[in-house]
Structure formats: structure tokens, C-alpha cells
Amino acid sequence: MSARGHAFGIDIGGSGVKGAVVDLATGELVHERIKITTPHPSTPDAVADAVAKLVAEADWPGPVGITLPSVVLEGVARTAANIDKAWIGTDARALFSAALGGRPVTVLNDADAAGLAEDRYGAAKNYDGLVLLLTFGTGIGSALLYNGTLVPNSELGHLEIGGMETEHRAAASIKDRDGLSYEQWATEVSTVLIGLENLFWPKVFVAGGGISRDSDQWIPLLTNRTPVVPAHLRNTAGIVGAAMAIDAGIVP
């Protein structure tokens, strides 16, 4: 953390590379987030160029936290969802650090970053014990936190529940693809949440992803027992969580 309690976070998604300086006392962005369209194809080198451009535009000289829609171990991407498959096996930390003049970088999964942010500043800030965040988007991302400590790379979107991978059953993209009503989609989400709560017994589920903006249309329809609260940070959670990760020295 800088003397002023600020850190820089970047969230890499299928459509945009977004970043900003974060005030770690409040979890708020210090300026409007900077967004660069994700290059296509989203190869490691092309995305690293976009990251370097973004950090230069922000005129940020220090360490940087960066998310990827991937399992990340010791800085190396092990999977690639919605980005170029060339990421698999790439040492993302070394690549980004080199693109940023050798400065310290940490890289973590996108949903893990959102979980860190919601747990400290957002929807789960008043819950202790186990918090399980799910992001409903093209796939389903997950973050498991116990008293604020992240259990990284949980990948529960790929857990089979009722004979189907959860993200194939209940991602927001499935609702769109199959033209499901909120009632129909909520039935699938409930199946997923019941399966997860019977395995993990979290205190609360945090529902993130774009569809959490319409949470009043579907959270009341859910039939599982654990409380489900909509994410608060919306499109800044990844940036804020990435900034928290570099500040706290989290290396998944």
C-alpha cells in the first residue's frame, strides 16, 4: 500500500480491460475507471500491451494487482475461460511485470478478486464465517472466504450438481441462450445453491455478475435456505479486489 493507502487494480474480462487507483480505506475508486477494449484475439502479448497502456494512462508508478478469468497458481494461468486459450500455462505475473517495467505484480482469478472486495467493503461485510460469492455471467465464477481469508481457485462453476456442471445449468448466459424467464432460471439457480449449501454450509451467498443488478426479480424466487444477498460493488469489484490482493501480498 502506498503512503496514502492507495493501490492499483486491473480487471481483465472478455470485453474490457478495466483499471483504477483504489482507496483501500473505503474500497472506492479514486478516479473514474479506465477501460480499454479487450484485444481480439486476446492473446497474452496483446492483453499485456493493453495493461501497459492502461497503467501509463493512469500514470501509476507502483505495484499492480490484476485479475484473469482463469485458475491462477503462483502467477501462472492454468485455465482460460472467455480469453484466448494461449493463456493456459502462461506465467502471467512475469509477463505483466515485464510489460510494466519490472514492477511487482500479483495475478488472481476474477471471481476471487470480486469475493475479496465484497467481503471487506460490500455485500458480505457484516458476515463472519464462511462467505461464498458466485458471479453469474458467461460462466459461473466462485470465491470462498473464511473470516476474510480467501481460499483461492475454488472453481465451483464446474462442480456437477444434479448431473450437470453448475455453469451449464445456471450461468446468466444460459438464461439468455434458452430464453428462460426469471422463474425458470431461478429454479436452476436454486438447484445449484441447495447443492452448494449442503456441501459448504456458508453463512451467506453473495450473487454477483451483471444479472445481480436485477436481483429483485429473481433473488426472492430462490428456494434454498441460506441468505442470498446481491453484490454491492457491481462493476468495480474485480478492480477493488485486485488492488486488495497486491496490497496484502496475496499470491494464489
Contacts with ligand BGC, residue ranges (CB under 6 A)? 69-71, 79, 81, 109-111, 135, 137, 139, 141, 155, 157, 167
**Identity of the residue, 100 or 238, whose beta carbon is nearer to ligand BGC in the bound complex:** 238
Q: How far is CA 158 from CA 122, 131, 144, 168, 180, in A?
A: 25, 18, 14, 8, 21
Task: Provide the minimum distance between the beta carbon of 209 and ligand BGC in the complex, in angstroms, as a whole number.
Answer: 8
Task: Provide the minimum distance between the beta carbon of 121 and ligand BGC in the complex, in angstroms, as a whole number.
Answer: 20
Strands 64-68 and 6-12, bridge-based pairing: parallel
**Identity of the residue, 53 or 78, whose beta carbon is nearer to ligand BGC in the bound complex:** 78
From first CA to last CA, the distance across the chain in angstroms is 19
**Identity of the residue, 21 or 233, whose beta carbon is nearer to ligand BGC in the bound complex:** 233
Task: Provide the minimum distance between the beta carbon of 46 and ligand BGC in the complex, in angstroms, as a whole number.
Answer: 19
Strands 204-208 and 130-136, bridge-based pairing: parallel
State the Cα–Cα distance between residues 111 and 158, nearest whole angstrom.
Answer: 13
**Identity of the residue, 69 or 122, whose beta carbon is nearer to ligand BGC in the bound complex:** 69
Residue 227: CB atoms within 10 Å:
13
Task: Provide the minimum distance between the beta carbon of 49 and ligand BGC in the complex, in angstroms, as a whole number.
Answer: 22
